[in-house]
Every structure is written in structure tokens, then in C-alpha cells.
Amino acid sequence: MVQAPPPGAPMAPGGGASQGRVPAGGAAGRPRSGRAPARVVLSAAFLSLAASLLGYAVWITFASHLYYDRVQHDAYASYRAELAQAIAPTGPTNPNNAKQLLAPGSPVAVLRIPEIGLSAVVLEGTSGAVLEGGPGHLRDTQLPGQAGFSEIMGRRAAYGGPFARLSSLSPGQLFTVTTGQGVFRYRVIDLRRAGDPIPRFTSRQGWLVLATADGPAFAPSGILRVDANLISKPQPAPAMVVSAADIGPNELAMGTDSLAWVPLVLWGQGLVLAAIGLSWLAARWNRWQTWVVAVPALSYLGLAVADQVTRLLPNLM
């Protein structure tokens, strides 16, 4: 018969009451139930949020300017070659196929305003995606240099902010626009905001409007327009095949691209999954190994999310 040890006697290793005792957390070294998954999810949430915020800040303040510069460089090289070969577009259709509309983002003019240090290639279209690469020509208006009404829109702050200094223009200042029909000079009439009178022009004159966001850089409060009249000889305009009915809401001043929600959700899911995977790896790798993989992966996905978020914002911002 086994006798119980006297009170206060030390317990023998592996014997008596110590046998069969299990630590509160389960087997030795095993994390408590439910805490590891919760930690992974929490870490993933913080990583996703941090990557999104960092990516957006980097994209808006730095990377978007680099994107603008690259698009402008490529557009200028392409447009210069078209001017040299006399095949630059002079209307809304492809010079080689009158039944085909110009593709969004096609270069159609070069705008130079020395007073604000601006020299930019104007692209066809005014959606947020097009305006990421430079000022855009509103498709249902005539090209600059032609008789009639023309409008060019540009961003105030993001993607190079080509129209950031538009508000510093004064009546009487001159600037030029180069198209496939030549170089044309314009004179600034005045700046116009909501409620200001609209200048009157005849259909035989050339009237150009430059439009951008008004107010703080990343918190626009309205639309600023600069009216200018053509002082060079107006050129004939081809028949307009694009009407106001063909212009989508995302191409109007301060319009947003609602279709960006689809890629935003997909990129966002990728960001969350990547963050969860990296959180899982962080529990098994050392810190530096994790960061070597995490930084490029989360940065890429964060920038992709930031680009789609920007397209949901006003196109003139």
C-alpha cells in the first residue's frame, strides 16, 4: 500500500501528485487557445492600415509626380514625331481613320504658359485617369486654335499639379498652344469662379477656358476657370462627332470615377491577404527577414490601392 508523504515533504520528481498535472495553457510551449489567431488578425489589420496610409501619402506627394513626368516625357516624344510627320490630330478622330475616335490619353496639343512656368502636353479626355498624365482636352469642344469653344482641364495639386499656379494669371497675359494646325497665341481675359459673369464670344472667334480646382491644394472648394481669347487667326474646325451626351460624369469638372471601386476592392483584398501572410511569417522568421519581404510587397499593394483611391476623388484635385 502506498502511503501519502507527510505534510511539508518535498514531492518526488515525476511522482505522486505531480503525475498527470497539465499546465494551464495545455502542452508545454503551446500558445493559449485563441490568442495566436487573434494576434495574427490584429497584426494584419494594423499592417494593412499602415501600408494603405503610407502608400497613399507617398503616392500623392511623390510617386504621382514621377508618374506624371513619365507620361509627359513619352507623350511629348510621340507628339513631336507626329508634328514632324504632319499626322498630328486636328479633331476628335484618328487622322488615319475618320471613323475612329482618338484614344483617351492621346496627345493633341502642347500648352505653354511662361508666367507660371508651365509647358505640358495636352491629352485627349478629362477623366481622372487621363488627368493623371497631364492636362486634358474636353472631348466635346474644339481643339485650341480653331474657331469656337475649347476647354482644357488640369489638376491643382496631385500628379504634378500642372495647373497649381493658374490663379496667379492676370488679364492681358499671353500664352501659346501648339497643335497640328500651328502655334496659336491666346490672351487672358480674366479669372472666373462660380457666380462670375461669362464672357461672350461669337462662333467665328476662338475662346479657350483653362479649368482647375479652386481652394486648398487637397481640399478643393470649387472650380477656377481662366478665360482667354485667340489673337491668332482661327483655323477651320472639323465636324464635331462627340456631343455633350457622350461625355461621362467622370469627365466633367470635379468628376469622380465610380468604376475605380472594382479594382480598389480587389487590390484591397490583396493587401489584406498579404498582411495576414506576412503576420504569420513574422511569428516564424526573425524581424529582418520579415521586413525584407514585407516592405516591397506591402509598398506595391499600398501604392496600387492609393492610385484607385485617387480616382475616386475629384479629377481636378
Question: What does 38-49 look like in DSSP terms, one character per residue?
Answer: HHHHHHHHHHHH
CATH classification for the domain delimited by 91-255, as one of 1.10.3720.10, 3.40.50.720, 3.40.50.620, 2.40.260.10: 2.40.260.10
Closest CA to 90 of 21, 137, 58, 127: 137
Query: What are the residue ranges of helices labelled H in 261-286?
Result: 261-282
Report whether pLDDT(9) > 60.
Answer: no
Report whether pLDDT(27) > 80.
Answer: no
Confidence label for 181 from pLDDT (cuts 50, 70 and 90): very high
Question: Do residues 55 and 62 lie in contact, with contact meaning Cβ atoms separated by under 8 Å?
Answer: no
Domain boundaries, the chain: 91-255
- pLDDT computed for residue 37 by the predictor: 63
- pLDDT computed for residue 31 by the predictor: 46
SS3 of residue 100 by DSSP: strand
Question: Do residues 84 and 146 lie in contact, with contact meaning Cβ atoms separated by under 8 Å?
Answer: no
Residue the block writes with cell 485617387: 310
The whole-chain average pLDDT of the chain stands at 85
Cα→Cα distances 71→34, 57, 294, Å: 50, 21, 29
Q: CA-CA distance, 32 to 20, in Å (whole number)?
A: 19
Report whether pLDDT(130) > 80.
Answer: yes
- pLDDT computed for residue 36 by the predictor: 58
pTM (2 decimals)? 0.79
Q: CA-CA distance, 127 to 256, in Å (whole number)?
A: 8
Q: What is the mean pLDDT of residues 45-71?
A: 78
Cα→Cα distances 207→38, 97, 309, Å: 63, 28, 34
- pLDDT computed for residue 98 by the predictor: 83
- pLDDT computed for residue 19 by the predictor: 47
Confidence label for 26 from pLDDT (cuts 50, 70 and 90): very low
Report whether pLDDT(23) > 80.
Answer: no
- pLDDT computed for residue 7 by the predictor: 55
Closest CA to 211 of 136, 266, 145: 136
Report whether pLDDT(13) > 80.
Answer: no
Residue the block writes with cell 484618328: 94
Does an H or E element contain 300, and which?
helix 287-311
Q: What are phi and psi of 86, to 5 degrees?
A: 60, 40
